[in-house]
Amino acid sequence: MNFPLTPNSSTEGAGHAVLAAERLGRILPGEIAVTLVRDIDLEVQRGEFLAIMGPSGSGKSSLLYLLGLLDTPTSGRVLLDGQDTSGYGEDQLADTRLRRLGFVFQFHFL
């Protein structure tokens, strides 16, 4: 589904995908490395809804943790409004999650 919104001229990064991943990957190191996510490319435009579906263990949650800046990719990058987040420090990541991202956990442990 695509529900375009009227662009706001003051919107930061106008013309860019609101969220993008370029060659995004995550590998858990160890005696036997485990690939969680491999070479994901995607763009989400302002006003679009995205569903990530797949069987158990296919990497959906791992991908969402990367896109939500809750985990660090081992390859590729995440962009918000065209801005690369790979150089963000912990404080900037926390501020970005607070002000610009929303995440609803499947298991919230409340």
Per-residue pLDDT tens over the stretch 30-88: 999 999 999 999 999 999 988 899 999 999 999 999 999 999 999 999 999 999 999 99
**Dist. CA 55–CA 34, nearest whole Å:** 17
**Distance set, CA 11 to CA 16, 69, 78, 95 (Å):** 10, 21, 19, 18
The third-level CATH classification (topology) of the domain covering 19-99 is Rossmann fold (3.40.50)
User: With the C-alpha atoms ordered 8, 12, 13, 18, is the resulting torsion angle positive or negative?
Assistant: negative
- The pLDDT assigned to 110 comes to 61
Domain residue ranges of the chain, discontinuous segments joined by +:
19-99
- Indicate the pTM of the whole model: 0.81
